[in-house]
Amino acid sequence: MRSKKRALRVLHVCSEIFPYLKTGGLADVTGALPPALAKMGCDVRMLVPGFPDFVNPIQNKHLVAELPPRFGAHALRLYYGTLPQTGLSAYYIDAPGLYDRPGNPYIDIYGQSYGDNHRRFALLGWMAARLVEGFDFFWRPQIMHGHDWHAGLAFAYLQVLQRAKGEKLAGSVFTIHNMAYQGNFPGHVFGELDLPDDLFNPEGMEFYGQVSFLKTGLSYADKVTTVSPTYAREIHGGEQSCGLGGVVQRRDPDVVGILNGIDTQVWNPSTDDTLATTYNARSINGKKQCRLALQQEMGLRSQNTAPLFCVVSRFASQKGLNLVLGVMNMLLEKGAQIVIVGNGEHHLERAFSDYAHHHPQQVAVRIGYDEALAHRVIAGSDVIMVPSRYEPCGLTQFYGLRYGTLPLVHRVGGLADSVTDTTPENLMDKTATGFIFDHFDISAMEDAVNRAFALFSQPREWRVVQRQGMKQQLGWKHSASEYKKLYDEIRV
């Protein structure tokens, strides 16, 4: 056992952590990667905004510092405590005026971004730099690791701090989970960020006259990671780079793709207590019961002759659900059943709900966000469709693999890196785990659907592919060691 003294001190800066606060896969990652790093011997702490979803569960709270008003926060304190599920230590910024609001971390109850988001998340970054500076006398991070645009400004504050001190104080890593969410704000807010003017230029924080939080992280972090090797290549240019391809190219030697893992305790069909019954790769029969239970729960006809397809997803254009709509009639004609869980763009909510209304025995739709239901749906289905237009990593295809639910995916980003197509060769050498289509169009997806039906009609072959997926090592161990290697390259 390595002594705590020598353990590398790593601060993760983020705005979501599963199971406390989650709007997407980011939370799954920040809920599982830091504990995996801790298991490997790192001394990991989290820094989060004081959203009630964090403040309420955090235990053993201690005041670290009380500060004068800043960024629009009148009462401003930094606390330290323990996250109960993992026992990890966390700092939270207690600023109720900024963080204690109805709605989610970024938008109000009407779906509008909060008008002061630039200040709410500037404060998160500013506080990260203060911790690097030694704000907590007892613990100073050697690595500052920020996630997504919410943490982007941390890298500017760190840059300014290191410039003032004339030395490097911490290694810094910025993980981009999605290039499309950039945290861009009108240029005039720059004056509210408490940063020197020279940072507001196209080599730094400026993106066509706007302040870009994502670009700030991309510009100033020692290392930039993204959540799959393929996505790391894709963001060098074209549509996927969302206008930042030039910056990515400039930072190319420091840009690394590390494929996400999943929390194999949360997602484990052999222990999952949300399911009708548990099962595993050796004894997969329980999955049939899960399927039957799902059909009953959803009011679908009980049958086991045609495959049950599912989607568990945000309804956003990224997710390619227009292709699912495009293959719906074909699926119905072939006798498939379809279960769809998600929410987001209203036209998709309406279109899927219409199908459920007209085909109640074959299609079920649940509009909303329901973690336990997501488990039951994935366990009870035969195929999970993830036809994303782009996908930095994607997690539901992993959950599908783990639950013996074959992923049907577009060959892009992390989907390309995590699913092996059922080509005749891959079937023969037992490496196939799902169905992949190359072109982002309906006919390509139809072709993959046809192949899914063909395989389903050969139960023995189907089972081989299921088992192959269930056997994959999907935990965080490997990826966490990749992050650790990166930390070792840049540690102070």
> Residue numbers of the site for ligand GLC (CB under 6 A)?
24-26, 29, 177-178, 227, 260, 391-395, 414
Binding partner of residue 227 among ligand GLC, ligand ADP, none, CB cut-off 5 to 8 Å per kind: ligand GLC
Instruction: Indicate the DSSP class of residue 143.
Output: E
Q: Which range in 24-32, 61-69, 181-189, 283-291 contacts ligand ADP by CB under 6 A?
A: 24-32
Helix (H) or strand (E) holding 297: helix 286-298
* Rounded Cα–Cα distance for residues 478 and 54 (Å): 28
**Binding mask 332-361 vs ligand ADP (x if CB under 6 A, - otherwise)?**
---------xxx------------------
Token duo for residue 121: 């998340």
**Binding mask 32-51 vs ligand ADP (x if CB under 6 A, - otherwise)?**
--------------------
Query: What residues contact 434, with CB distance under 8 A and at least 6 apart?
Result: 397, 400, 401, 406, 407, 408, 409, 419, 420, 421, 422, 465, 469
Query: Of the candidates 19, 24, 52, 187, which one interacts with ligand ADP according to CB under 6 A?
Result: 24
Query: What residues contact 229, with CB distance under 8 A and at least 6 apart?
Result: 257, 258, 259, 417
Query: Of the candidates 16, 28, 94, 272, which one interacts with ligand ADP according to CB under 6 A?
Result: 28
Binding partner of residue 312 among ligand ADP, ligand GLC, none, CB cut-off 5 to 8 Å per kind: ligand ADP
Closest CA to 331 of 443, 453, 436, 421: 453
Q: How many residues does the chain have?
A: 492
Minimum CB separation of residue 321 from ligand GLC in Å reads: 14
DSSP sequence for 343-354: EE-HHHHHHHHH
Residue 152 or 414 with smaller CB distance to ligand GLC: 414
* Rounded Cα–Cα distance for residues 240 and 256 (Å): 16
Backbone φ, ψ for residue 250 (5° rounding): -60, -35
Closest CA to 155 of 185, 122, 197, 182: 122
Residue 193 or 348 with smaller CB distance to ligand ADP: 348
Using CB under 6 A as the binding rule, whether residue 396 contacts ligand ADP is answered as: yes
Instruction: Indicate the DSSP class of residue 385.
Output: E
Minimum CB separation of residue 311 from ligand GLC in Å reads: 15
**Binding mask 300-319 vs ligand ADP (x if CB under 6 A, - otherwise)?**
------------xxx-----
462 and 455 Cβ atoms separated by less than 8 Å = yes
Count, residues near ligand ADP per rule CB under 6 A: 17
Is 485 annotated for ligand binding?
A: no
Query: Of the candidates 146, 394, 404, 434, which one interacts with ligand ADP according to CB under 6 A?
Result: 394
Using CB under 6 A as the binding rule, the residues of this chain from 360 to 389 that contact ligand ADP are 369-371, 374
Minimum CB separation of residue 24 from ligand ADP in Å reads: 3
Token duo for residue 75: 């009462």
* Rounded Cα–Cα distance for residues 185 and 200 (Å): 12
Contact residues toward ligand ADP (CB under 6 A) are 24-25, 28, 312-314, 341-343, 369-371, 374, 393-396
For the annotated binding site for ADP-alpha-D-glucose, the residues are 22
User: Which positions make up the binding site?
Assistant: 22
